[in-house]
Amino acid sequence: MNSLSNICIVDDDDIYQFMVTKTLESLGLAKKIIAFSDGEEALNFMVENLNNENELPDIILLDINMPIMDGFQFMEEYVKLIPKVSKSIVIYIVSSSVDPVDIERAKNISAISGYIIKPTKPGELKSLIEKLKESGRLYL
């Protein structure tokens, strides 16, 4: 399996960040993993690297409930940036929330590709990336 260029984890849970990072590394699914503890940090990174395709992530795994800027606030700002972003980025909400309101809200944001309920299993991440490759949404 070819490795991804970049995967971005936006989640305030250090243990979750560590677990996903180790899973991606052990499965050989990422060359570079970038992690942020809130949406504002991630958004600032995106703005700073708008024209730097090598630094921008291919996939963002985005939590909803975070301090400073939550996942939905991040998406409100990110949607405004999409015309300026130099490549297509696949975004998945990854949350422990099973609230139908959150799930429906995520479905109504066209830039969000899906909603994954935590905890994620290693096979889920591998399957997700393989499906994105097969569908042509991820070019590696």
pLDDT at 26 (0 to 100): 86
CB atoms near residue 30 (< 10 Å): 24
Higher pLDDT, 126 or 13: 13
Q: What is the average pLDDT across 89-106? A: 94
Residues near 135 by beta carbon (within 8 Å), at least 6 away in sequence: none
**pLDDT on residue 64:** 96
Report pLDDT digits (tens) over 59-76. 999 999 999 999 999 999
Is residue 140 one of the residues assigned to a domain? no
Nearest to 109 by CA among 60, 45, 66, 53: 60
Domain membership of residue 23 as a residue range: 4-135
In the predicted model, what is the mean pLDDT of residues 105-130? 88
pLDDT top residue among 24 and 122: 24
Residue 44 lies in a domain: yes
Does residue 48 have a pLDDT over 90?
Answer: yes
Domain assignment present for 67: yes
Q: pLDDT of 3-39, one tens digit each?
A: 456 899 999 999 999 999 998 888 887 889 999 999 9
**pLDDT computed for residue 1 by the predictor:** 42
User: Is there a domain that residue 115 lies in?
Assistant: yes
| 140: pLDDT strictly greater than 50 | no
In a domain, 63, yes or no: yes
C-alpha–C-alpha distance, residues 73 and 56, integer Å: 19
Domain of residue 116, CATH code:
3.40.50.2300
How many domains does the structure of the chain reveal? 1
Report the mean per-residue pLDDT for the chain: 89
Sheet strand arrangement including 30-36: 30-36, 4-10, 59-62, 90-95, 112-117
**CA distance linking residue 106 with residue 115, whole number of Å:** 7
Q: Classify residue 81: in a domain, yes or no.
A: yes
Q: Is residue 36 part of a domain?
A: yes
Residue 120 lies in a domain: yes
